């Protein structure tokens, strides 16, 4: 499935529909085959022993017929080939979820005695939790981007950032951050931007993480994670994946490869709608602050003067649900859901206000979305009738300050 030296570089849109599928016509196939085998019969156990030895020694993707699907699956391998091509990395390694992918990255480094992580908030709530709770025996130093270089120690294994970050859409200068990391690998979570808008490896990130559950899958029906990186790191990730078992199901691999084909059109269309909504929200008296990345994208976050719980209860077209990146629009309240597990003070000090709502803009018509948001936002507080004796006053939730 390698492109030959004579193949001219192709654009992202072309790679999205062809990468990982180059051999299909020669196989007489159009759709990629879905291989659900857990095991692979072989009468040549000497050859299998040699493949297992080679994998144990190097972590290279085994040649020849697969042995067992925790080690190797051809459908998942197509998705990995395609994602690596889109991110501009040598390799990619897929996992059962974004969190399984992050876990494997941390284990690779801590197994080398490098258990310290330098990270910039905000991160996705569960990533923050995994680091803060030290569940994998790691220790984290939370810093601002300009404090990275100073926070690095001899046992620092990773520097981790998200840009745009979940849920505030805060951006960091990936190139500057990568330079501050020196020899320490920079792990950039690129879930929000996708390779359509940003390819962190081009800016010096050695490890590019995705919750494939989001834009890569794109239809809210597949959980997965993937790490795009150089082959040296990929080999270590494959060995950890084999030993710990967080593999992507082949049906998920099939759906993710299918999702990649429409990734560029989905991201561009949803981003155009999101930019329009961000503009309208910014001019709305019920909205106190809008967060929309300079990079663009299909995520919009906004703080409101009213009660965010009412907006979640009030939407009718937009799906009130955590997660993002689907063809339909989703809205959620980070302080209640995606970032609930982060300590409230840490959450607030990293810019995740209790009045913040995070919306993942889908492929609906912009006017229909605006109508739904407009209705869910309700009347401006100033235009609401004064409540009799204060009994029914629109008192904000006590948890919301
Ligand atoms: C959802 C998410 C994750 C975790 O991914 P799962 O697939 O849910 O395990 C990690 N990072 C970001 C930015 C996310 O949005």
Q: In angstroms, how far is CA 248 from the centroid of its own chain? A: 15
How many angstroms separate the alpha carbon of residue 74 from the centre of ligand 1?
Answer: 24
Q: Among 349, 346, 382, 366, which Cα is nearest to 300's?
A: 366
- Residue 128 near ligand 1, beta carbon < 6 Å: no
| Predicted local confidence at residue 399, as pLDDT | 46
* CA pair distance 258, 299, nearest whole angstrom: 22
- Residue 166 near ligand 1, beta carbon < 6 Å: yes
Q: Does domain 265-379 fall into CATH 3.10.180.10?
A: no
What residue's CA is closest to ligand 1, atom 12? 124
Please say if the pLDDT value at position 3 is more than 70: no
| Average pLDDT of every residue of the chain | 94
Mean pLDDT of 52-65: 93
Residue 392 pLDDT grade (very low, low, confident, very high; cuts 50, 70, 90)? low
- Residue 96 near ligand 1, beta carbon < 6 Å: no
Which CATH code fits 12-263?
A: 3.40.640.10
Per-position b or e across 210-236, b if 16+ CB within 10 A of its CB = bbbbbbbbbebebbbbbbbbeeebbbb
* CA pair distance 22, 8, nearest whole angstrom: 14
* Ligand 1 pocket mutation, candidates 104, 105, 124, criterion most atoms within 8 A of CB: 124
pLDDT > 70 in the chain, percent = 94
* Ligand 1 pocket mutation, candidates 211, 321, 352, criterion most atoms within 8 A of CB: 211
Q: Which atom of ligand 1 is nearest to the CA of 192?
A: 13
Q: Which three-class secondary structure state does DSSP give residue 61?
A: coil
Element holding 277 (H helix, E strand): helix 250-282
How many angstroms separate the alpha carbon of residue 211 from the centre of ligand 1?
Answer: 4
* Ligand 1 pocket mutation, candidates 94, 126, 246, 249, criterion most atoms within 8 A of CB: 126
- Residue 330 near ligand 1, beta carbon < 6 Å: no
- Residue 122 near ligand 1, beta carbon < 6 Å: no
- Radius of gyration of the CA atoms of the chain, in A: 23
Report angle CA 221, 263, 303 to the nearest 5 degrees.
75
Q: Which three-class secondary structure state does DSSP give residue 301?
A: strand
How many angstroms separate the alpha carbon of residue 169 from the centre of ligand 1?
Answer: 14
Q: Which atom of ligand 1 is nearest to the CA of 101?
A: 9
Domain ranges of the chain: 12-263, 265-379
- Residue 97 near ligand 1, beta carbon < 6 Å: yes
Please say if the pLDDT value at position 401 is more than 90: no
Alpha helices in 219-341 (DSSP H): 231-244, 250-282, 308-314
* Ligand 1 pocket mutation, candidates 96, 130, 191, 256, criterion most atoms within 8 A of CB: 191
What residue's CA is closest to ligand 1, atom 6? 98
Residue 63 or residue 315, greater confidence? 315
Instruction: For 77-116, write each residue's pLDDT tens digit.
Output: 999 999 999 999 999 999 999 999 999 999 999 999 999 9
| Predicted local confidence at residue 7, as pLDDT | 62
Instruction: For 329-370, write each residue's pLDDT tens digit.
Output: 999 999 999 999 999 999 999 999 999 999 999 999 999 999
Taking a C-beta distance cutoff of 8 angstroms, is the pair 188, 208 a contact?
yes
Taking a C-beta distance cutoff of 8 angstroms, is the pair 381, 394 a contact?
yes
Q: Which three-class secondary structure state does DSSP give residue 186?
A: strand
- Residue 168 near ligand 1, beta carbon < 6 Å: no
What residue's CA is closest to ligand 1, atom 9? 98
Instruction: For 265-321, write each residue's pLDDT tens digit.
Output: 999 999 999 999 999 999 999 999 999 999 999 999 999 999 999 999 999 999 999
Q: In angstroms, how far is CA 34 from the centroid of its own chain? A: 24
Instruction: For 118-143, write each residue's pLDDT tens digit.
Output: 999 999 999 999 999 999 999 999 99
Q: Which atom of ligand 1 is nearest to the CA of 213?
A: 7
Please say if the pLDDT value at position 398 is more than 50: no
- Residue 227 near ligand 1, beta carbon < 6 Å: no
The CB-side HSE value for 50 (13 A sphere, CA atoms) comes to 8
Q: Which atom of ligand 1 is nearest to the CA of 323?
A: 1
Residues labelled catalytic: 70, 124, 189, 214
Please say if the pLDDT value at position 25 is more than 70: yes
Please say if the pLDDT value at position 381 is more than 90: no
- Residue 223 near ligand 1, beta carbon < 6 Å: yes
- Residue 326 near ligand 1, beta carbon < 6 Å: no
């Amino acid at each position: 499935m390698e492109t030959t030296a004579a193949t001219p570089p192709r654009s992202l849109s072309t790679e999205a529909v062809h990468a990982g599928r180059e051999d299909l016509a020669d196989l007489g196939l159009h759709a990629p085959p879905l291989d659900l085998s857990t095991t692979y019969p072989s009468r040549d156990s000497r050859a299998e022993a040699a493949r297992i030895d080679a994998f144990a020694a190097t972590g290279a993707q085994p040649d020849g017929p697969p042995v067992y699907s925790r080690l190797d699956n051809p459908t998942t391998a197509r998705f990995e080939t395609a994602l690596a091509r889109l991110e501009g990395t040598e390799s990619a390694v897929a996992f059962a979820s974004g969190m399984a992918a992050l876990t494997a990255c941390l284990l690779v480094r801590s197994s080398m005695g490098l258990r310290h992580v330098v990270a910039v908030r905000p991160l996705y709530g569960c990533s923050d939790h995994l680091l803060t709770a030290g569940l994998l025996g790691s220790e984290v130093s939370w810093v601002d981007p300009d404090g990275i270089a100073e926070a690095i120690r001899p046992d620092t294994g990773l520097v981790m950032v998200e840009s745009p970050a979940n849920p505030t859409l805060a951006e960091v200068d990936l190139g500057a951050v990568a330079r501050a990391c020196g020899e320490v690998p920079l792990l950039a979570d690129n879930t929000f931007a996708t390779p359509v808008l940003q390819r962190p490896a081009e800016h010096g990130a050695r490890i590019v993480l995705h919750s494939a559950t989001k834009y890569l899958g794109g239809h809210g029906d597949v959980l997965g994670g993937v790490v795009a990186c150089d082959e040296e790191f990929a080999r270590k990730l494959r060995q950890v994946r084999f030993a710990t078992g967080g593999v992507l199901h082949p049906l998920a691999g099939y759906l993710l490869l299918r999702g990649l084909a429409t990734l560029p059109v989905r991201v561009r269309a949803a981003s155009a709608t999101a930019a329009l909504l961000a503009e309208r929200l910014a001019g709305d008296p019920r909205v106190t602050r809008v967060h929309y990345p300079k990079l663009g994208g299909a995520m919009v976050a906004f703080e409101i003067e009213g009660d965010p719980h009412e907006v979640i209860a009030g939407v009718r077209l937009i799906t009130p649900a955590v997660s993002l990146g689907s063809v339909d629009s989703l809205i959620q309240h980070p302080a209640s859901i995606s970032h609930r597990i982060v300590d409230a003070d840490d959450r607030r000090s990293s810019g995740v206000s209790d009045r913040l709502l995070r919306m993942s803009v889908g492929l609906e018509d912009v006017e229909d979305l605006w109508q739904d948001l407009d209705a869910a936002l309700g009347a401006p507080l100033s235009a609401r009738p004064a409540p009799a004796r204060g009994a029914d006053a629109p008192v904000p939730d006590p948890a919301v300050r």
